[in-house]
């Protein structure tokens, strides 16, 4: 009888309970009005049907995750943007503004009201070429199979451009075949090491500034380092890459500089600090950076020291 009673208590404790729909409402922030707009702008690129994580498209989908959403945004883990605030603005910054964070917290702490009417419809543009029809569309010769239980990690895919003459790249649009397993992708010219840019679910295209382009030699291949996560069932990802070229040679060429660690100092037995420096020979504009942390790395700090 004691065992039976203990089992009954355990079942009572861990059996899922529906949240009460009669929580006291103490906020004017509504899901169908303010919250759905914030989620569409900052979250649904990953949190939608067939996306990387659980969907938050509708009130019914988002309501059970309210407390978890609060924890994630207070710890600044979601939306994912690890750069320290206050050191410049970035075009691919998906982080919440103070106003957006306040709205979400007010909605959650105030009883998660839904509101009347319908929220604005969510338009998923991931199936469209966001920069218009590409001049060239490249498709991987064979797909990458992602098995359940596979650890998160990179897979290198190399595609042949088929170019018979030199071209000047002004942009690209990358499209995974299955968004459920792809966290990010980094593109380079395989034969020269020229970095082309990155893809994430919330920043799917690269477009160079006016009068700037990247040289793509004839017969080049493009290497794509894809960061995969496992799915619940086997998935085959056969990505496509759309390329956009400049009509003529641009006024300025984009080039890649790789800064490797040059020295190591130890602030303690468990906290080595690696440093590197690169001297620019002429005035330079930095268009994109790709920091790479080695095993055990925790953070990267980049400083620009001017001549004066």
Q: What is the dihedral of CA 45, 47, 49, 55, to 10 degrees?
A: -160
Look up the pTM and report it. 0.84
CB 173 within 8 A of CB 127: no
For the segment 1-14, the average pLDDT, to the nearest whole number, is 41
In the block, tokens 């509101």 appear at: 115
Strand partners, 275: 263
Query: Who has greater pLDDT, 279 or 13?
Result: 279
The closest alpha carbon to 150, from 228, 236, 239, belongs to 228
The closest alpha carbon to 57, from 38, 81, 82, belongs to 38
Q: Does the pLDDT at position 2 exceed 50?
A: no
pLDDT at 294: 79
For the segment 76-80, the average pLDDT, to the nearest whole number, is 91
Distance CA 215, CA 192 (A): 10
> How do residues 243-289 score in pLDDT, each as one tens digit?
999 999 999 999 999 998 887 776 565 667 889 999 998 888 899 99
The closest alpha carbon to 50, from 142, 127, 163, belongs to 127
| Vertex 288: Cα angle to 238 and 158 (nearest 5) | 25
Separate counts of helices (H) and strands (E) for the chain: 5, 14
CB 183 within 8 A of CB 52: yes
Strand 153-160 to 195-199 pairing: unpaired
| 136-253 placed in CATH 2.60.120.230 | yes
Question: What residue spans in the chain does CATH classification 2.60.120.230 cover?
Answer: 136-253
> How do residues 84-120 score in pLDDT, each as one tens digit?
888 888 888 989 999 999 999 999 999 999 999 899 9
């Amino acid at each position: 009888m004691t065992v039976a009673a203990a089992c009954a208590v355990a079942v009572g404790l861990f059996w899922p309970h529906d949240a009460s729909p009669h929580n006291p409402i103490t906020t004017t922030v509504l899901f169908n009005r303010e919250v759905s707009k914030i989620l569409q702008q900052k979250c649904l690129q990953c949190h939608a049907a067939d996306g990387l994580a659980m969907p938050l498209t509708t009130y019914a989908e988002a309501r059970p995750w309210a407390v978890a959403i609060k924890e994630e945004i207070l710890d600044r883990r979601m939306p994912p943007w690890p750069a320290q605030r206050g050191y410049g603005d970035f075009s691919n910054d998906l982080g919440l503004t103070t106003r957006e964070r306040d709205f979400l917290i007010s909605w959650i702490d105030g009883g998660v009201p839904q509101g009347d009417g319908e929220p604005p419809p969510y338009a998923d543009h991931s199936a469209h070429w966001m920069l218009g029809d590409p001049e060239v569309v490249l498709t991987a010769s064979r797909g990458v199979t992602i098995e359940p239980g596979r650890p998160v990690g990179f897979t290198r895919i190399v595609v042949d451009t088929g170019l018979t003459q030199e071209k000047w790249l002004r942009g690209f649009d990358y499209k995974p075949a299955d968004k459920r397993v792809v966290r990010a992708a980094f593109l380079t010219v395989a034969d020269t090491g020229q970095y082309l840019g990155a893809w994430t679910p919330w920043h799917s295209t690269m477009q160079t500034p006016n009068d700037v382009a990247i040289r793509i030699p004839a017969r080049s291949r493009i290497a794509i380092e894809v960061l995969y996560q496992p799915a619940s069932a086997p998935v085959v990802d056969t990505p496509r890459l759309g390329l956009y070229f400049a009509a003529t040679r641009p006024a300025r060429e984009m080039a890649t500089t790789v800064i490797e660690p040059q020295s190591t100092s130890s602030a303690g037995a468990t906290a080595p600090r690696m440093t590197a420096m690169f001297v620019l020979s002429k005035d330079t504009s930095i268009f994109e950076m790709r920091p790479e942390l080695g095993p055990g790395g925790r953070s990267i700090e980049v400083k620009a020291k001017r001549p004066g």
